[in-house]
Amino acid sequence: MERVGFEAGAMIQHLFFGLQSKGFEVVCMEARQVSAALYAMRNKTDKSGAKGIAQILRTGWFSPVHMKSREAHGLRALLSTRIALLKKTMDLANEVRELLKIFGVRLPYTGQAPISAARGSLARRWRMRRGLGR
- Write the pLDDT tens digit of every residue in 58-111: 888 888 888 899 899 899 999 999 999 999 988 988 888 888 888 787 777 666
Report yes or no: 31 and 53 within 8 Å, Cβ to Cβ: no
pLDDT > 60? residue 133: no
Mean pLDDT of the chain: 82
Report yes or no: 77 and 38 within 8 Å, Cβ to Cβ: no
Closest Cα to residue 18, out of 9, 29, 26? Answer: 26
Output the pLDDT for position 111. Answer: 63
- Distance CA(42)–CA(96), nearest Å, equals 58
Chain segment 35-46, per-residue pLDDT in tens: 888 887 777 788
pTM: 0.57
pLDDT > 90? residue 53: no
List, as own/partner pairs, every contact residues 93-96 make where C-beta atoms lie below 8 angstroms and the sequence separation is at least 24, other chains included: none
